[in-house]
Each structure stands twice: as structure tokens, then as C-alpha cells.
Amino acid sequence: DVKVTQSSRYLVKRTGEKVFLECVQDMDHENMFWYRQDPGLGLRLIYFSYDVKMKEKGDIPEGYSVSREKKERFSLILESASTSQTSMYLCASSLLTSSGFNYGYTFGSGTRLTVV
């Protein structure tokens, strides 16, 4: 089974801090994604990447950046954490065939970030 590992289960950071959330997958998937999930708002896509050093903005990229230096690792960076970024952050990876068929995502277990 694909394993997607997020470095922290719970994090508490102060307003203004730079925060790094790490995600590693072990199945050589090209596609990796960062979502945040909030009550009543569902899952919202922050950034995604289809290849090393490649990144695309999702629906809510403001206040975030990403890094993908290696295929297996996709990092989410909160440049200056704010209380509005308190949320559950979920990383996912997927395999997309050349014909465009998607086998679905595998999610990491999530990082619950609290910004105080």
C-alpha cells in the first residue's frame, strides 16, 4: 500500500512564525497535493505538484508556498503564520496514468496546526 507520511500529527505555533509541514510518499507518485480541512468548508486545495520542482496554485494559495525538490517529498510553508491558518492540513499523493485515469488519492494522517 502507498504510504503518505506527514511529519507531525499536532503542531502549535505562534503568530508570525514560519511553519514547515513535511510530507513524504513512498510509491513514486508524480502527483502530490496539500489540502486544508475546516468544519463547514470541507477540503480545500492549497497547492499541488505534478513533478519535481513543479507547483501549481490551488483554490486558496494565499499565505502559503510549497517546495518539491525531490519526487517523494512535498513541503508546505506558511510564510508568516496567522490564527486564520489554524486547521487540519492533509497531504495526498496519486498516480495518474498517461491516459489521464486517476486511481484516487492516498492521504497522510494529517497535521492539526494551531496558531496562537
Quick note: the x/- pattern for other proteins over 48-67, rule CB under 8 A, is x-x-----------------
- How far is residue 95's CA from residue 12's CA, in Å, rounded to a whole number? 32
Looking up cell 520542482, which residue turns up?
53
Of residues 45, 57, 60, 65, which one binds other proteins by CB under 8 A?
45
- Residue 8 binds other proteins, judged by CB under 8 A: no
Amino acid at 115: V
Of residues 36, 78, 94, 113, which one binds other proteins by CB under 8 A?
94
The number of beta carbons lying within 10 Å of the beta carbon of residue 24 is: 18
> Using CA atoms in the order 40, 9, 85, 52, what is the torsion angle rounded to 10 degrees?
-110
Catalog residues that contact other proteins under the rule CB under 8 A: 31, 33, 40-43, 45, 48, 50, 90, 92, 94, 96, 100-110
